[in-house]
Amino acid sequence: MAARRWSIVIVVVLAVWMGGYALLSRDPDAVAYRESCVQSAQSTLDGLGTARMATDDGLLSSYRTALDDDAQKLIAQARGQIAGQVPPDSRSAQRRDALLPLLDEAERAYADLMRSQADHDGAARQRATDRIRTLEDQLRDFVDGNR
Amino acid sequence: MKRLLGVTLGILTAIGGFVDIGDIVANSEIGARFGTALFWVLPVGVIGICVYAEMCGRVAAHAGRPVFDLVRERLGPRVGLANLSGSYLVTLMTLAAEIGGVALAVQLLSGIDYVLWVPAVAVALWLGLWRLRFETLERLFGLTGLALVVLLVALIAGDTPWSQLAGQALDPVPTEGEDWNSYWYFAIALFASAMTPYEVFFFSSGGVEEHWTRKDLLLARANAFIGFPLGGLLAFGFMGTAAVFFYPNGISVSTLGQAVLPAGLVLGKIGLACAILGVFAATFGAAVETGLSSGYTVAQYFGWGWGKYVPPRRAARFHTVVLLSILASVALLLTMIDPIQLTEYTLILSAVVLPLTYLPILVVANDRDYLGDRVNGKLANFFGMVYLVVIVVAAVAAIPLMIVTGGGQ
């Protein structure tokens, strides 16, 4: 009787383990890939928007440093959300092709903004801020169009 | 005059003491994603905590014993153990989240990563709990927490579209891009942030610490019915400012730095400094409350000496539990879990264990052996039962919604 119970327990544990392994190791389906792309775009939007608002001169410098770190992490984790994932179909590949240039541009714009602040270059800061506003609109359109 | 001052001070303390990292995170996230469409949850949660905190205060004032102590006696050790298990786990996670919140607030002022501040905050917390008087702790951080009023000032002083905010609040449906699953998920999180278990245990045990008697019932009720709602107003400051600054831009709030940013944008460095100071005080005060609550619940279940009003040598096990709880919280934070993410998980877990906390309170508050003729009246029982139903529904729905929405993603 005890041996039979233990056999059932072992079978159940093995089934759950193998099911979990199959679930985690499979390629993401199209819905999951779309969600990853949307989360990636949203994360970039959050980071850029926060960095743009943090350029306000009325903020404490230590606080601005912490906020810029937060923004950098958000932008960095955006790429990590889709890195290494293979688009499961052609529609997903199109989605990736639309998103990746926005992520590249976001990283460049963020770096330019940080450099302009470090150099105390008001004109460069304004240009970077304007670029970021345009990017925010594009990212919002991407998020809204792919929910 | 002295009595009026005591009541006023108690109310002010309750206002500042109501807000903690869960309220800050939940209100900011919701304001950024839903505007004020979930505003209705705030008064619902505040009324709920008022109803049950009043019961706990009444029990403490009449029976001279905290409610958790009576739960075990009245309902038996098994029910008491179920209550203890659920509430202690949630309290421990909340303690970790609060310590993390304090460290994040210090990071915003110092520019130094919050992880390095976690051990320092834990030491300061333990020293404060060990050496400072209960009243001193409560009033210092409760009153300093009033600095969070700066967010309401930012709303009033800024270019706030009040008609738009009112329109969203009066149209309580998911906003564009959100669905009903995420709407109710965040509604439960916000509700749980207003009714976290440690609040009632601390309120009840605190009443015994302050030697409340029947004469202090007015004070207890004033703290609950005036202090908590005004504290809810402070919490709304986060929701409102996020709705004005982040929601129109489609930006989500996921960091403490973002939550206080509106104060800086409207009021400059002074406003920002006040907001960060308020967050520091609110979260440190909540860390004090959760630290003490962790000790209260365990000591009261096992019948050990407890409290700050007894000499430490007579409550050695109580202080040991508090110390171990702080150490466990630090260990959890040093796994590099994001304190904001930890807060979100804690809120949902809190929602699941709410029935274990509040049902026994309702039972004890109706027991004439403890309260004589001061048991719940019809009104208290009506609201108590209504909220118990709401709590059970929230508890049942919390985990499925967390799975379906991917944790609110």
- The pTM for the full model equals 0.89
pLDDT for position B270? 94
Among B104, B107, B251, which would you mutate to test the A interface (most chain A Cβ atoms within 10 Å of its Cβ)?
Answer: B251
pLDDT for position A27? 55
Burial class (CB in 10 A: 0-12, 13-18, 19+), B177: middle
* Among chain B residues, CA nearest to A57: B268
Dihedral sign (CA B360, B365, B369, B371): positive
d(CA B167, CA B175): 12
Cβ–Cβ contact A135 with B under 8 A? no
Q: What is the mean pLDDT of each run of 10 residues along chain A (147 residues)?
A: 79 73 65 91 94 87 89 89 85 93 95 92 93 96 91
Cβ–Cβ contact A76 with B under 8 A? no
Question: Residue B108's domain is classified under what CATH number?
Answer: 1.20.1740.10
- H or E segment to which residue B81 belongs: helix B77-110
How would you write A91-122 as a 3-class SS string?
Answer: HHHHHHHHHHHHHHHHHHHHHHHHHHHHCCCH
d(CA B118, CA B96): 10
Two structure tokens written together for B393: 């529904």
CB atoms within 10 A of CB B85: 14
- H or E segment to which residue B20 belongs: none
Whether B306 maps to a domain, the answer reads yes
Domain with A48 in it: 28-145
How would you write B142-173 as a 3-class SS string?
Answer: HHHHHHHHHHHHHHHHCCCCHHHHHHHHCCCC
In angstroms, the first-to-last Cα distance of chain B is 53
Give the distance from residue A62's alpha carbon to the nearest chain B alpha carbon, in angstroms. 5
Number of compact structural domains in chain B: 1
Two structure tokens written together for B209: 């610490």
Instruction: Say which residue the tokens 């409610």 belong to.
Output: B67
Distance of CA B206 to the CA centre of its chain: 15
d(CA A15, CA B351): 31
d(CA B302, CA B81): 10
> What's the number of CA atoms in the CB half-sphere (13 Å) around residue B94?
36
- H or E segment to which residue A47 belongs: helix A30-53
> C-alpha angle with apex B174: B171 to B177, nearest 5 degrees?
135
Closest CA to B293 of B55, B94, B130, B121: B94
Domain with B219 in it: 2-376
Helix (H, G, I), strand (E, B) or coil at B40: coil
In angstroms, the first-to-last Cα distance of chain A is 53
Whether A14 maps to a domain, the answer reads no
User: Does the ipTM surpass 0.90?
Assistant: no
Closest CA to B120 of B133, B108, B107: B107
Give the distance from residue B282's alpha carbon to the nearest chain A alpha carbon, in angstroms. 19
d(CA B12, CA B234): 12
Alpha helices in B111-227 (DSSP H): 114-131, 134-144, 149-157, 162-169, 180-194, 197-209, 217-222
Closest Cβ opposite residue A147 in set B109, B177, B269: B177
Instruction: Say which residue the tokens 């807000």 belong to.
Output: B19
Among B115, B176, B249, which would you mutate to test the A interface (most chain A Cβ atoms within 10 Å of its Cβ)?
Answer: B249
Question: Residue A82's domain is classified under what CATH number?
Answer: 1.20.120
pLDDT for position A14? 78
Whether A13 maps to a domain, the answer reads no
Closest Cβ opposite residue A62 in set B111, B246, B406: B111
Contact B246 A140 (CB under 8 A): no
Contact B254 A46 (CB under 8 A): yes
d(CA B102, CA B125): 10
User: Which residues contact residue B29 at a Cβ distance below 8 angstroms, ignoring those fewer than 6 apart?
Assistant: B186, B242, B252, B253, B254, B408
Whether B409 maps to a domain, the answer reads no
Whether A19 maps to a domain, the answer reads no
Number of compact structural domains in chain A: 1
- Residue pair A69/B114 in contact (Cβ under 8 Å)? The answer is no
pLDDT tens, residue order, chain B (409 aa)? 666 666 666 676 677 667 889 989 899 999 999 999 999 999 999 999 999 999 998 988 888 888 888 888 888 888 888 888 888 999 999 999 999 999 999 999 998 999 999 999 999 999 999 888 877 887 888 888 889 999 999 999 998 999 999 999 999 999 988 999 999 999 999 999 999 888 888 888 888 888 888 888 888 888 888 888 988 999 999 999 999 999 999 999 999 999 999 999 999 999 999 999 999 999 999 999 899 999 999 999 898 988 887 888 889 999 999 999 999 999 999 999 999 989 989 999 999 989 988 998 999 999 998 888 889 999 999 999 999 999 999 999 999 999 999 888 7
Whether B390 maps to a domain, the answer reads no
Closest Cβ opposite residue B261 in set A35, A46, A53: A53
* Among chain A residues, CA nearest to B32: A46
- Chain B positions with Cβ closer than 8 Å to A: 107-111, 176-177, 245-246, 249-252, 254-255, 257-258, 261, 264-265, 267-269, 272-273, 276, 406, 409
User: Which residues contact residue A55 at a Cβ distance below 8 angstroms, ignoring those fewer than 6 apart?
Assistant: A113, A117, A125, A129
Give the distance from residue A42's alpha carbon to the nearest chain B alpha carbon, in angstroms. 8
Distance of CA A116 to the CA centre of its chain: 24
Cβ–Cβ contact A67 with B under 8 A? yes
Kindly list the residues from chain B whose CB atom is less than 8 angstroms away from the CB atom of residue A49. 246, 249-251
Cβ–Cβ contact A23 with B under 8 A? no
Whether A39 maps to a domain, the answer reads yes
d(CA B192, CA B349): 9
Burial class (CB in 10 A: 0-12, 13-18, 19+), B367: middle
